[in-house]
A and B are shown apart, each in its own frame.
Chain A
Amino acid sequence: MTLLGDAGESILREPCRRALIDAEPHAELTGAKSTADAIAARHWSMACELGWTSILLDERDGGIGLGLDELVALSEEIGAHLFCGPWLASAVLAPGLLALSRSRAQDFEWPGTGAAISLAVPRPLPDSTGATRYLGEHPDLASHYLLIDETSEPWGVSCRLLAATDVRLLSRPTALDPTCPVAELVPAADGLGERIETFGDDAARLLRPVHLAIAAELNGVCAAILERAVAWVGERKQFGRPVGSFQGVKHRLADAYANFTKALACARAAAGSDDPYDAQVARVIASEAAARAGRDYIQHLGGAGISWEYDAHLYLKRAVRLNAIPPVAGTLSRVNTDRFIACIDV
């Protein structure tokens, strides 16, 4: 069963899916030792080789300039097969920043298509000196970090691109998601990197592919969860019947499937919609669907769901990580609501 459907509408889906299936990291990750850094290195060179990091880039920047439909298809597969690597900042956000900075004649030193640009998000509390500490993904791989900062208004984006040599790694904390190692870091000095800030509709346009990619990756995660959960509950027998024939199990899965179907349609439609805000809705819907399916997956597996040896936890953890990337679903939903209410003539 492939809940993401067959190639049909996308030229990238089929080849990407095949490559990702060959590279699936499940066995390594659920083995005795976690080896995410090695997996990520492998995945990343595959992604660069196959051109996945340049799908949104203009041809003049060495990209292949494909549209959001392809971004969505590829992101779905990336989620479904647990691709490891700094995909989001490198392939999605950075190209957007490049285009934005060009349109404003602002400096943005584009590191080229081979760069591994890692997302670095601020921790909620500053350190004892009041400085912001960031959590950057894939420190072993990163050639650059894209540092995201809070903005005064929720409709804003503020970030800086720093070379890996321009940040100081403070520690290598354990990461919740075994597919994505993290480091705690700060800029090596003040004033490094050009700050790019944007608000309102411009920010919504900039973030549109980011939200779409996250939504689609979550939908891929959700599809994989459903496929695996269904296979499990169809096999596992208790009281002389497959546990999947019990309505308590069945109805939870039916709800998960209904939410998944909705999320999938929503993200795919948002890729072609005129309204950049639809991508935010797609992300909110996908975030809820995947997180819930991920929690339920553990429940459907019973004791095995709690065991590191089975892969259920990998999907839940990835959903949690994707859902923590700011602006988070709660913020998006709130701000969207404010905007909707403000537009209605009462």
Chain B
Amino acid sequence: MNRQVVTRGHIDDEVAAIIAATDDDVFRRGVRDWLASALQRLAGSTDWRTRAIRRDFRLEFETYLCRAGFSALGWPRRYGGHALDLARQAVFLEEHSRIEAPLPVNMIGHGIVAPTLLAHGSEEQKERFLPGLLDNGTIWCQGYSEPSTGSDLASLSTRATRCEGGYRVNGQKIWTSFADVAHRCFCLVRTGDAGSRHRGITVLLVDMKSPGITVTPIRQITGDADYCAVFFDDVFVPDTDRLGEENAGWSIAMAAAGFERGTYFIPRIVRLRSELEQIVRLAARTPRGDARAIDDPRIRLEIGELLNDCTALRALADDMLRRTARNETPGAEGSVVKLLWSEAHQRLYQLGMEILGTDAILGPGEECAPRHGAVQFQFLWTRAETILAGTSEIMRNIIAERGLGLPR
């Protein structure tokens, strides 16, 4: 049972030494220095911060990290992971956020697919799919939403019909993030009859190169096109690419959502504090009449509230990590974390826009704007965070019904 299922290829010697460090401070300093020089190396003469929100650079940096050895930090060793404890994982995230390293693109892959595969995949599937996550060679997307299916996920209608050796899939997914660069799709399909709701859903791990798939990027509020419409026209998916049993997809999807709302948001919560520090720096540099924006009592008040939230959310996130480590599936607490974090993050950039004053009318990512237009970008982007992965209203329903047991 304990045989090595997935073997990781060669990793950077320096990274191997950092991972093996027994001393916490040595580990932290190692990660910090390594990240700084890696960013320098990749960005060349330009400041990486100006490129941190660009998708190509995010992907390039993420893959560089993974190939050097900074991936699968918490997975068990026999799947090629480093089996680092939570404290160490948190240190890595803290250093990643302190230096404002670009956020990963393959979040679905590392944050959702990996833990779900480890929990529900067959050994053959783990063997086949985990290596692509170790080296980031396989980018994943998540095919849940459809034109008529959003919050009410159990209503989905993209149909998979049985055929020789697998399924034929027909239908359409929408708002699928990064589908245009993804190699695989973690996809929910209808295998039961039309009215079967959550009892008739199956998870397929669809190869995005399959004949019959068309991907059309959709432009977003930020001007970027990071999500897509995905059309399935008689797409063949082999049985070996089904995760779990037929019609048993709902419970897998719920477990995956638990990972998403729990562990997936933790890096973002860790980031909140350094983001707030950036906003404070911005306020200290922005003139307001004879004074600076930072001297404005209203702005200070809001900074104070956000500061309290940073500390409290971090305590909540640590609690969550401990539960995950004890193999408790995050329940309503995951929704609490998602709700509070996404709303605090929005307030942070509303504050940022207020500090910008007239510069707020410059576009997202605009080079001549303070912080290269990152504030405008985040202000717009954070609007999405109370919608994606379950809207705030749905989070409140879950918290009330599952956390407090209120009647439906």
| Contact surface of A with B, Cβ cutoff 8 Å | 1, 226, 230, 233-234, 241-242, 244-245, 247, 249-251, 253-255, 257-259, 261-263, 265-266, 268-270, 278, 281-282, 284-285, 333-334, 336-338, 340-341, 344, 346
Contacts and interface: CB of A to CB of B under 8 A. Distances in A.
Contacts of B405: 1, 230, 234
B205 to A, nearest CB: 34
A261 B406 contact: no
B307 A336 contact: yes
Interface residues of B, number: 40
Contact of A334 (B300, B311, B315, B393): B300
Interface of B: 277, 280-281, 284-285, 294, 300-301, 303-305, 307-309, 311-316, 318-319, 332-333, 336, 339-340, 393, 395-397, 399-401, 403-408
B400 A253 contact: yes
Contacts of A281: 307-308, 311-312
Given A251-B396, A253-B400, A234 B406 contact: yes
B313 A262 contact: yes
Contacts of B403: 254, 257
The 7 closest A-B pairs by CB, nearest first: A269-B315, A337-B304, A254-B396, A346-B284, A254-B399, A266-B312, A250-B400
Nearest to A340: B307
Contacts of A249: 406
Contacts of A233: 406
Contact of B308 (A254, A284, A338, A344): A284
**Which of A241, A268, A337 is packed against the most chain B CB atoms within 10 Å?**
A337
Contacts of B395: 254
B308 A285 contact: yes
A175 B193 CA distance: 65
Nearest to B294: A341
Judged by DSSP, the binding face of A is helix
A281 B400 CA distance: 26
Contact of A261 (B305, B308, B316, B407): B316
A281 B277 CA distance: 17
Contacts of B307: 281, 336-337, 340
Given A244-B407, A336-B308, 16 more contacts: A230-B406, A251-B396, A253-B406, A254-B339, A254-B403, A257-B400, A262-B336, A265-B315, A282-B312, A284-B308, A285-B311, A334-B304, A337-B307, A341-B280, A341-B303, A344-B281
Contacts of B312: 262-263, 265-266, 281-282, 285
Nearest to B304: A337
A333 B406 CA distance: 34
A157 B312 CA distance: 25
B196 to A, nearest CB: 25
**Which of A241, A254, A282 is packed against the most chain B CB atoms within 10 Å?**
A254
24 contacts: A244-B406, A245-B407, A245-B408, A250-B396, A250-B397, A257-B332, A257-B336, A257-B404, A258-B339, A266-B312, A266-B316, A268-B315, A281-B307, A285-B311, A333-B304, A334-B304, A336-B307, A337-B304, A337-B307, A340-B303, A340-B307, A341-B300, A344-B281, A346-B284
Contacts of A234: 405-407
A163 B294 CA distance: 47
Contacts of A341: 280, 284, 294, 300, 303
